[in-house]
Amino acid sequence: MPKSIEKIAVLTSGGDSPGMNAAVRAVVRTCAFHNVECYGVYQGYEGLIEGDFKKMDARSVKGIINKGGTILKSARSKEFRTKEGRQKAYDNLSEEGIDGLVVIGGDGSFTGALIFNQEFGFPVMGIPGTIDNDIFGTSHTLGFDTALNTVVDAIDKIRDTASSHNRLFFIEVMGRDVGHIALNVGIAGGAEEILIPEEDLGLDRLVESLNKSRKSGKSSSIVVVAEGDKIGKNIFELKDYVDENMEGYDVRVSVLGHMQRGGAPSCFDRVLASRMGVKAVEAMLNGQSNYMVGLLDNKMELTPLDNAIKGKTKINLELLRVSDIMST
C-alpha cells in the first residue's frame, strides 16, 4: 500500500499555454479541499533545483483562472537533465516534506518527471499543457482550444483585408511538427488550402489547386501553413514559388507568432484545467503515480506517462476531407 501523500508540489514547464494558471489553481484548491498542503514551484524544474517554491492556500490562486501564461513561470532546465540536478531537486523536496509532484507541461516535461520517478520513486502526475495538442492520451491539451480561437480571430481579420484587395495570404500557425492547429483553423477560417506536415500536397498541386479556386470565382484566398510543414523550406520561399508560378494574385505572408500562446483561456480550457487539476491530485492521493490525466470521450482518464510520451497523436482524416469539401 502506498504511503499516503501529505504535501504536493506543482510546477509548469516547457512552453506556456492558456489554462496553465487555471490548472495550478485547480491543483491548489483540490489540495485545500482534501486538507493536503500545496507548494508552487517557480521556473519549472529549475525551481525544484534551487528550492524556489512557496506554500499556496486556496486564496493565493484567486483571480488567476482567466489569466494567460503561468504565474509559476516556466523555464527549460539544463541542470535537471543531469543526475546531480535531479538529486538536488529530490533533496529540496524531501527537506520540505513534499511527497508528490504535479507537472503541467508537454512531453519533454513528462520525460523529466518520469526519469525523476524512476530514480527516486517520487510520485509524479502529469497534466498536458501545450497549445500544440501533440500529446497522446488526451483529445485536447490545455490551451489548444484557446489557441484555435486566437488564430481564427486573426485569420478573420486577415480575410477582411485579403478580400478587399483580391489577395492570396499564406498564414503560418504554430503546432511544432503536427498539424492539429492548422487543420482546425484552416476549416474554421475558410482556408482554400491547409498545409500540414502529415500530408505532403506538393508544390505543383498547390498551385494547381489555387488556380482552380481562382477560376471558380474566388477573389481572395487564404492558405494556412503549419510551422512544421516542409512543402517549402519556409513560408517565404513558398510565397516566392507561388508568386512566380501563378498569375492574378497579390501574394502575402503572415507569421502569427507568439500571440498564439497567450490570452485569457476559453471556457473549454478553463473547465478542462479545473477537471484535470482535480483528477491529478485525487489520483495521487489515491496512491497512483506516473500517469498523465487526459480527456477521452469527454471523461477524465489516466494514461501511463510512458505511453503519453511515446504514443503518436494522429490527424483526424475526416477533417482533411471536410476541408477539401468546404473549399469547393
The catalytic residue among 16, 99, 132, 145 is: 132
Q: How far apart are CA 227 and CA 176, in angstroms?
A: 6
In the 8-state DSSP scheme, what is residue 312?
-
Question: Does 32 help bind its own copies (rule: CB under 8 A)?
Answer: yes
**Reading across the β-sheet that carries 167-173, which strands appear in turn?**
193-195, 221-226, 167-173, 250-255
Question: Does 4 help bind its own copies (rule: CB under 8 A)?
Answer: no
What is the nearest approach in angstroms of its own copies to the Cβ of residue 247? 16
What is the nearest approach in angstroms of its own copies to the Cβ of residue 134? 16
Q: How far apart are CA 22 and CA 236, in angstroms?
A: 37
DSSP H helices in 60-143: 83-96, 107-120
Tell me which residues in 163-182 interact with its own copies (CB under 8 A).
163-166, 169
Query: How many other C-beta atoms are found inside a 10 Å radius of the C-beta of residue 111?
Result: 17
What is the nearest approach in angstroms of its own copies to the Cβ of residue 118? 28
CB 231 within 8 A of CB 203: yes
Among 201, 203, 300, 315, binds its own copies (CB under 8 A): 300
Residue with smaller CB distance to its own copies, 15 or 232: 15
Q: What share of the chain is helix, strand, coil (3-state, %, to 5)?
A: 45, 20, 35
DSSP H helices in the chain: 20-33, 45-50, 83-96, 107-120, 144-165, 180-188, 203-215, 235-245, 267-285, 305-310, 317-326
Q: How far apart are CA 170 and CA 148, in angstroms?
A: 17
What is the nearest approach in angstroms of its own copies to the Cβ of residue 91? 25
Residue with smaller CB distance to its own copies, 114 or 224: 224
Tell me which residues in 126-155 interact with its own copies (CB under 8 A).
139, 145, 148-152, 154
Tell me which residues in 254-283 interact with its own copies (CB under 8 A).
254-264, 266-268, 270-271, 274-275, 278
Residue with smaller CB distance to its own copies, 114 or 173: 173
Question: Does 59 help bind its own copies (rule: CB under 8 A)?
Answer: yes
What is the nearest approach in angstroms of its own copies to the Cβ of residue 319? 7
Question: Does 55 help bind its own copies (rule: CB under 8 A)?
Answer: no
DSSP H helices in 11-82: 20-33, 45-50
Tell me which residues in 240-259 interact with its own copies (CB under 8 A).
252-259
Residues whose CB is less than 8 angstroms from the CB of residue 122 and which lie 6 or more positions away in sequence, other chains included? 90, 93, 99, 100, 101, 116
Residue with smaller CB distance to its own copies, 84 or 157: 157
Among 4, 33, 54, 240, binds its own copies (CB under 8 A): 33
132 is catalytic: yes
Residues whose CB is less than 8 angstroms from the CB of residue 143 and which lie 6 or more positions away in sequence, other chains included? 17, 18, 19, 20, 129, 130, 131, 261, 265, 269
Question: Does 65 help bind its own copies (rule: CB under 8 A)?
Answer: yes
Return binding residues for Mg(2+): 107
Return binding residues for ATP: 15, 76-77, 106-109
Q: How far apart are CA 142 and CA 129, in angstroms?
A: 5
Question: Which grid coordinates are listed for 25?
Answer: 489553481
Question: Which grid coordinates are listed for 298?
Answer: 469527454
Question: Does 211 help bind its own copies (rule: CB under 8 A)?
Answer: no
Q: Mask of contacts with its own copies, 77-116, x by CB under 8 A?
A: ----------------------------------------
Return binding residues for ADP: 25-29, 159, 190-192, 218-220
Positions marked catalytic:
132
